[in-house]
Amino acid sequence: MKSLTAEPAEAAPVPELVAAAEQALPQQANALARARAFAEPFIGQETLDTGENTLAHADAVAGILKGMGGSEAMQAASYLVYACPHLARPQEVIAKAFGDSYAALAVETTKLVGVQRQARAAEDAARAPEDPQLQAEKVRKMLLAFSRDLRVVMLRLASRLQTLRWHAAAKTLAPRSVAREALQVFAPLANRLGIWQLKWEMEDLAFRFLEPATYKQVARLLDEKRVEREAYVAQLRASLEAELRVNGIPAQVHGRPKHIYSIVKKMRGKSLDFEHVFDVRALRVIVPEVRDCYAALAWVHERFEPIASEFDDYIARPKPNGYQSLHTVVRDEAGRPIEIQVRTQAMHEHAEHGVAAHWAYKEAGAKGYAGVSASSEYDAKIAVLRQLLAWERDLAGAGQGLFEDRIYVLTPQASIVELVQGATPVDFAYTVHTDLGHRCRGARVDGVMVPLNTPLRNGQTVEIVAAKEGGPSRDWLNADLGFLASPRAKSKVRAWFNEQLRHETIARGREAVEKLLQREGRTAMKLDDLAARLGFKAADDLFAVVGKDELSLRTIEALLNPPQAPLPHDEFLLKKARPAARSPKGGVLVVGVDSLMTQLARCCKPAPPDPIGGFVTRGKGVSIHRADCSSFRQLAAREAGRVIEVEWGQPKGEGTAVYPVDVSVEAADRQGLLRDISEVFAKEKMNVIGVQTQSLKGTAWMTFTVEVADSQRLAKVLGSVAEVPGVRSARRR
């Protein structure tokens, strides 16, 4: 996308930004006349979107700027702004004819105008009404994005006021979006900058288009007794001014204009009817010094009856935008309320033109503007910047200021994108859409290809070059390379790589489980059913824990091949121990007998160091029971002569012998219970070789067969099992 603006300044600390914002236009001989003559051939026969002649609009904007104290140089810039779109190389042409400062201001303002026009066109194309608050936020961000030079903001304020004036004079209806922006964005900005004259007029005009019925009703009420009220105010003004002078207070007393929007706000805010709005009758007293303000206030309160609740001292406690004045409401002999403001001439000039005085500081010279001076040029600049940041906080709520941690850039469709300071095109891509960030491969900034780790600046237009598919680079997470500044974008990149790792883990787990099912001849088994039986919501969850070696395949084997039901007591037969890894391998000694075959009883599954006893079976060796086994006690009671003394011995061969032990668990049934208990055994490195489960009316009974080398250690493991959520008891059978 072709750039419409000069290269903006690098992001810099506040003092440097202030300096950039306050760069003055050089004074040139006949600058105003030269600029108008330069622009007239281009715009003399052109019209704006509103239908207004472009040259007439520029004339009016220059007049408004003059009324706010703008120099001829500033007024000249208004013509150059409207000439810009008609120049092939506006930056170069205007710089050659008027200088770089004029060119930068004109091109920057033109770009803002173009961005706003594109945004409105995009909204119209969507044919969907946007939330007014979101629209106000968008315009606010646009202004902030281009407010490195505050004169851009002043030009936009003047232009918007003229647009409203033109619609009012032409008796045409201003678009609601234009009027709403004026009321919700531009007027609050003028208020923050202290340009009250512009604020009041813009509010009244915007309100006239937004609520025409209410506007006409209040205007009619004001007009009904206008002659009578004006005569009364004129008589009161003359007598008050004369009486103050008699009392040694040199004052000028003026009637105040009636602002319909402020009257409506008071009526609505205080639930008043029209007759009780105090500033319908209002006077302003202007005196030379601050001490004269309080002297005049004291005399007014002696002369009239004050309404105590309606007094405000904005001299002792100025408003945030620097406004100072004394406000009081008094009643005359007839009981009619009158609002009176008392201020010095300097306060009055500041109230009318506000920070515009500081804005014009260098243009007006060391004496300042309209009697308002700053102790230094730096103080004046800081005053301007503080008010702009305060305006931003007014609209955005509590938070950091614009120049502290945020920048605003544009999409090719003119959408505003808010980024952290130092953000790159990759940050921009992730802010627009996560998928665009993943596929980002290049970027154009103001139409020029740049490296992806290029820091962006306010007001730039960013276009992402994206692949059809693919993912981010690991280099983007390397802080030394500077590809990412946004924590949100960094988390998106990390999440992508974590997801890729999860896919690999799931694939590894799936392969292992499917191979197991093939070995077991269970390939017809549904994987989701297998996962559900093991306590997982989906097969991928099972594959993930298997792939990370957090669940042993032997647990799945045990589920597929549950142990056989115990044989009746009289059929416990001893068999020679098989040379499996988990057999005792000669771990039981029959006292006084060598090489006698032994077999651990299935009914009680003894393990060292359990007290044990032996029972000689018919031709099958010795069956080894726990001494407290009920089956063993019954056999011994019936045939005491076949009981034989046995004890634990050392296993033959290398390694530690392990013994199968049954564990009973009772718990409240829930999803994932079996998995959680199995994980406890796995963490304790205790192999599970069999699982039986049964659930009834919300209660689960589970029997785990685990291999142990020492039954005493089992007690500790059962304590951990008992801590699993839902488990009511865990004991050895």
The residue-averaged pLDDT of 426-430 equals: 94
The residue-averaged pLDDT of 236-261 equals: 84
Give the end-to-end CA distance of the chain in Å, rounded to a whole number: 78
* pLDDT number for residue 585: 42
Each residue of 431-442: pLDDT tens digit?
Answer: 999 999 999 999
- Measured torsion, CA atoms of residues 395, 398, 404, 406, in degrees rounded to the nearest 10: -60
Distant-in-sequence, close-in-space partners of 79: CB < 8 Å, separation ≥ 6: 35, 36, 38, 39, 43, 58, 62
Lowest mean pLDDT of 67-81, 132-146, 515-529, name the range. Answer: 132-146
Scan for tokens 């032990």, then name that residue: 661
The residue-averaged pLDDT of 465-486 equals: 90
Q: State what percent of residues in the chain have pLDDT above 70.
A: 73
Cβ of 202: how many Cβ atoms within 10 Å?
26
Each residue of 621-653: pLDDT tens digit?
Answer: 788 888 888 888 888 888 888 888 888 876 655
CATH code of 659-732, in short, is 3.30.70.260
Q: What is the phi-psi region of residue 318: left when phi exceeds 0, alpha when psi lies from -120 to 50, beta otherwise?
A: beta
pTM assigned to the model: 0.47
Do 659-732 and 225-353 fall under one CATH topology?
Answer: no
* pLDDT number for residue 575: 35
* pLDDT number for residue 297: 93
Lowest mean pLDDT of 222-226, 511-515, 632-636, name the range. Answer: 222-226
Is the per-residue pLDDT at 369 higher than 50? no
Residue 412 dihedral angles phi and psi, to the nearest 5°: -60, -20
More confident residue, 182 or 192: 182
Is the per-residue pLDDT at 41 higher than 90? yes
Q: What is the phi-psi region of residue 685: left when phi exceeds 0, alpha when psi lies from -120 to 50, beta otherwise?
A: left
Q: Across all residues in the chain, what is the average pLDDT? A: 76
Per-domain boundaries in the chain? 225-353, 496-560, 569-648, 659-732
Cβ of 512: how many Cβ atoms within 10 Å?
16
Instruction: Name the helix (H) or strand (E) containing 342.
Output: strand 337-344
More confident residue, 484 or 552: 484
Distant-in-sequence, close-in-space partners of 73: CB < 8 Å, separation ≥ 6: 24, 25, 26, 27, 28, 31, 32, 102, 363
The residue-averaged pLDDT of 343-360 equals: 67
Model confidence at 598, in pLDDT bands (50, 70, 90)? confident
The token pair at 423 is 């953000």
Choose from 2-6, 150-154, 208-212, 606-610 the range with maximum mean pLDDT.
Answer: 208-212
Closest CA to 300 of 251, 235, 229, 352: 251
Between CA 161 and CA 57 the distance in angstroms is 10
The residue-averaged pLDDT of 55-79 equals: 86
Q: What is the phi-psi region of residue 99: left when phi exceeds 0, alpha when psi lies from -120 to 50, beta otherwise?
A: left
More confident residue, 113 or 242: 242
The residue-averaged pLDDT of 546-564 equals: 78
Each residue of 305-331: pLDDT tens digit?
Answer: 998 888 999 999 988 767 899 999 888
Q: Tell me: cis bond preceding 609? Omega within 30 of 0 counts.
A: yes
Helix (H, G, I), strand (E, B) or coil at 404: helix
Topology given in CATH for the domain delimited by 225-353: Beta Polymerase; domain 2 (3.30.460)
Between CA 483 and CA 426 the distance in angstroms is 7
Closest CA to 188 of 235, 140, 253, 222: 140
Helix (H, G, I), strand (E, B) or coil at 704: strand
* pLDDT number for residue 290: 92
* pLDDT number for residue 590: 64
